[in-house]
Amino acid sequence: MATERLGEFELIDAITAGLPTSPAIVLGPGDDSAVFRVEGDAAISTDAIVEGVHFRRDWSGPHDVGRKVVAAAVADLEAMGARPVTLVIAMSVPPELDQAWVLECAKGIRDECATIGIVLAGGDMTRSKEIMLTATVVGDFGGRAPVTRAGARPGDVVAVIGRLGMAAAGLAVLGRGFRSPRAVVLAFRVPEPPYGQGIVAAESGATSMIDVSDGLLADLGHIAKASGVGIDLDSSKLEVSEPQKTVAAAIGGGDPLSYILAGGDDHALVATFPSARVPEGWTVIGKVTDQGAGTVLVDSAPWTGPTGYQHFSR
Amino acid sequence: MATERLGEFELIDAITAGLPTSPAIVLGPGDDSAVFRVEGDAAISTDAIVEGVHFRRDWSGPHDVGRKVVAAAVADLEAMGARPVTLVIAMSVPPELDQAWVLECAKGIRDECATIGIVLAGGDMTRSKEIMLTATVVGDFGGRAPVTRAGARPGDVVAVIGRLGMAAAGLAVLGRGFRSPRAVVLAFRVPEPPYGQGIVAAESGATSMIDVSDGLLADLGHIAKASGVGIDLDSSKLEVSEPQKTVAAAIGGGDPLSYILAGGDDHALVATFPSARVPEGWTVIGKVTDQGAGTVLVDSAPWTGPTGYQHFSR
């Protein structure tokens, strides 16, 4: 079958054809702006992913990349306890890029949106030398207050839901030219934030919340700083998975707990709760203290391993 | 004075320090999402600008670039008749870029926001090889209906407000290594959309509207297509400025009307109105017809010069 190269507008038409809609979308793609409807206050967050920084084309397929940009952006809404409503995407690609890559990436965007129940309302497409995608997401709170980073109180417990350190383990193996264990490679390619759990946490009375994008210690550090509290993690509650142990052993005996504590990009949710209010499915991993405001300890001592995830292009 | 290189978080702090706020901003930068408030339905639009496609660092300063990305995005709200409320910016820059460039660009963003009365609520910063900025803007309608591209009716008049073809003339001289006439060079560097006039048009009963980003003929073509009407422009109403005449004469005798008809990036507003309802300050330049749905004529004939603005990097 002959493949004709599409013009910019045809490509956008191909991407937006048959987009699902929702009562929240008053006007979808095709005009100067989209028009949407929220209930009460709205949350907004923007996230860019760049080829060579957040993904590599030889490590991730276009469908993975499309899913990833949506997942990473929506995780920021989850972390406020917001309900995802709509998003817009700016896509910058080299003119010589195979259009099949663009269309498959757009399919990844749409598939991840469908999983979440968020509706793509519009976008922008431009040329660039490297592939870059920016997702801006909007959500609402249905009358609840947003859960910020600033509300943790001494006596609260710290609880987490979602994968930790899987993407970092995946990056470690990909960086050494391997493609297995498959679970960690897939985790690096596409994060799976615990969609819906941000609202569950908010309704359960979470006092603070963040998604783990930079690493558990780094992101809990943001909560500790914003809340003016200390946090003490119990390493016995941090479960290292078999694939993580395999990776740590294979690449030189590193402590697999490093992936859990310092690995980012999985977009787990970590929150603080009054101890009686931890929702089902969340794992208590530590406590909030009045000692050492702004600091995060592991088993009551400073962590001496790596802290904070570095993207692979450093 | 020694200049220390700032870390990512310090740079973000420097950019967001002392940001103005507004009653519409419930929670500004610094958490996973910002939180804002709109009245009724909301408009959203996203716009990316890329070094080498939309600007060159030797042609535009960082302050110009910051202003430009905000102006281009907000023009899309104006074109719906929306009131700009808030925006978020994703900024991708090479790690080796002088941080003074980033800070001055951020100042341009903030200055343009102040001019408009829109409040920056958050952003994202990442590395990239080329500079890219994506602005996503949100506005509301205060109970009015959005003005789309689809409402033009035969018998309406076509009217415009704002600069036409000035950026294109500026691009023409910069592309030949000149820096004057200054008016067109400045116009290329920073568009000056007619802020506030989108609401004026909406309140006056505009039946359709668009901002001129691709060129007057191309953008009116979008209205003609979406509305299923013809448009006939009266070239005697399209005023060619002295600098445009100078540029056209200097670079080989081109018809300066080409800049007006095909030049983009000025973000003028063009709208259709019932003839008695054209607001003060707008210039009637043509009429809506029931002939040749989807087509735009000039003096009742097809335009044979260039149509549609090409960015300089093609």
Q: pLDDT tens track of chain A, all 314 residues?
A: 445 678 777 888 888 888 888 999 999 999 999 999 998 999 999 999 999 999 999 999 999 999 999 999 999 999 999 999 999 999 999 999 999 999 999 999 999 999 999 999 999 999 999 999 999 999 999 999 999 999 999 999 999 999 999 999 999 999 999 999 999 999 999 999 999 999 999 999 999 999 999 999 999 999 999 999 999 999 999 999 999 999 999 886 678 899 999 999 999 999 999 999 999 999 999 999 999 999 999 999 999 877 655 544 33
Task: Give B85 to chain A, closest Cα distance, Å.
Answer: 12
Q: Please state at what angle helix B242-250 crosses helix B182-189, rounded to 10 degrees.
A: 100
- Residues A205, A94 share a domain: no
| Residue A44: inside a domain | yes
B11 — contact with chain A (CB < 8 Å)?
no
- Residue of chain B nearest A86, judged by CA positions: B44
- Tell me whether residues B46 and A79 touch, CB distance under 8 A: no
Q: pTM for the full model?
A: 0.95
- Residues A253, A185 share a domain: yes
Task: Give A59 to chain B, closest Cα distance, Å.
Answer: 18
- Residue of chain B nearest A72, judged by CA positions: B32
- Tell me: pLDDT of B57 over 70: yes
Q: Which residue, A132, A124, A170, A128, is CA-closest to A52?
A: A132
- Residues A226, A110 share a domain: no
Distance CA A261, CA A219 (A): 10
Q: What angle do CA B52, B54, B57 make, to 5 degrees?
A: 55
- Chains A, B: CB pairs < 8 Å: 204
HEC assignment per residue over A58-123: CCCCHHHHHHHHHHHHHHHHHCCCCEEEEEEEEEEECCCCCHHHHHHHHHHHHHHHHHHCCEEEEE
- Tell me whether residues B46 and A130 touch, CB distance under 8 A: no
| Residue A309: inside a domain | no
- Residues A211, A89 share a domain: no
Question: For B42-62, what is the mean pLDDT?
Answer: 96
- Residues B197, B136 share a domain: no
Distance CA A119, CA A137 (A): 10
- Residues A172, A135 share a domain: no
HEC assignment per residue over chain B: CCCCCCCHHHHHHHHHCCCCCCCCEEECECECCEEECCCCCEEEEEEEEEECCCECCCCCCHHHHHHHHHHHHHHHHHCCCCEEEEEEEEEEECCCCCHHHHHHHHHHHHHHHHHHCCEEEEEEEEECCCCEEEEEEEEECCCCCCCCCCCCCCCCEEEEECCCCHHHHHHHHHHCCCCCCHHHHHHHHCCCCCCCHHHHHHHHCCCEEEECCCCHHHHHHHHHHHHCCEEEECHHHCCCCHHHHHHHHHCCCCCCHHHHHHCCCCCCEEEEECHHHCCCCCEEEEEEECCCCCCEEECCECCCCCCCCCCCCC
Task: Give A253 to chain B, closest Cα distance, Å.
Answer: 31
- Tell me whether residues B33 and A43 touch, CB distance under 8 A: yes
Select the residue from B22, B27, B32 to test the A interface by mutation, using most A Cβ atoms within 10 A: B32
More confident call, A207 vs B1: A207
In this predicted structure, what is the pLDDT of residue A313? Answer: 38
Task: Give B161 to chain A, closest Cα distance, Å.
Answer: 17
In this predicted structure, what is the pLDDT of residue A2? Answer: 43
- Residue of chain B nearest A129, judged by CA positions: B130
B186 — contact with chain A (CB < 8 Å)?
no
- Tell me whether residues A90 and B134 touch, CB distance under 8 A: yes
A94 — contact with chain B (CB < 8 Å)?
no
- Residues B246, B117 share a domain: no
- Residues B175, B131 share a domain: no
- Residues B268, B193 share a domain: yes
CB interface of B with A, residues 244-303, below 8 Å: none
The domain tally of chain A equals 2
Q: How confident is the model at residue B1 (pLDDT cuts 50, 70, 90)?
A: very low
Q: Name chain B contacts of A46, Cβ cutoff 8 Å.
A: 88-90, 122-124, 134, 136
In this predicted structure, what is the pLDDT of residue A252? Answer: 64
Select the residue from A13, A27, A46, A53 to test the B interface by mutation, using most B Cβ atoms within 10 A: A46
Q: Name chain A contacts of B136, Cβ cutoff 8 Å.
A: 44, 46, 88, 90, 134, 136
- Tell me whether residues A44 and B136 touch, CB distance under 8 A: yes
**ipTM (interface predicted TM):** 0.94
Q: How far is CA A247 from CA A179, A309, B69, B176, B205, in A?
A: 11, 17, 44, 57, 65
| Residue B303: inside a domain | no
- Tell me whether residues B52 and A129 touch, CB distance under 8 A: yes
Q: Give the residues across from A132 on adjacent strands.
A: A50, A92
- Residue of chain A nearest B138, judged by CA positions: A33
Q: How confident is the model at residue B11 (pLDDT cuts 50, 70, 90)?
A: confident
CB interface of B with A, residues 112-171, below 8 Å: 121-124, 126-130, 132, 134, 136-139, 141, 146, 148-150
| Residue A3: inside a domain | no
| Residue A245: inside a domain | yes
- Residue of chain B nearest A150, judged by CA positions: B31
- Residues A187, A83 share a domain: no
Full residue range of the structural domain in which residue A272 is found: 157-298
- Tell me: pLDDT of B310 over 70: no
| Residue A303: inside a domain | no
- Residues A32, A126 share a domain: yes
- Tell me whether residues B90 and A47 touch, CB distance under 8 A: yes
Task: Give B105 to chain A, closest Cα distance, Å.
Answer: 18
**CATH code for the domain in which residue B61 is found:** 3.30.1330.10
For A33, the closest of B45, B52, B129 (CB atoms) is B45
Q: How confident is the model at residue B3 (pLDDT cuts 50, 70, 90)?
A: low
- Residue of chain B nearest A313, judged by CA positions: B127
B79 — contact with chain A (CB < 8 Å)?
yes
- Residue of chain B nearest A36, judged by CA positions: B42
- Residues B165, B274 share a domain: yes
| Residue B71: inside a domain | yes
Q: Which residue, B176, B195, B164, is CA-closest to B263?
A: B164
| Residue B127: inside a domain | yes
CB interface of A with B, residues 43-72, below 8 Å: 43-50, 52-54
Task: Give B261 to chain A, closest Cα distance, Å.
Answer: 19
In this predicted structure, what is the pLDDT of residue A4? Answer: 67
Q: What is the mean pLDDT of chain B?
A: 93
Distance CA B223, CA B117 (A): 28
- Tell me whether residues B44 and A26 touch, CB distance under 8 A: no
For A44, the closest of B34, B48, B209 (CB atoms) is B34
CB interface of A with B, residues 208-227, below 8 Å: 209-211, 226
**CATH code for the domain in which residue B188 is found:** 3.90.650.10
In this predicted structure, what is the pLDDT of residue B195? Answer: 98
- Tell me whether residues B136 and A46 touch, CB distance under 8 A: yes
Distance CA A61, CA A189 (A): 8
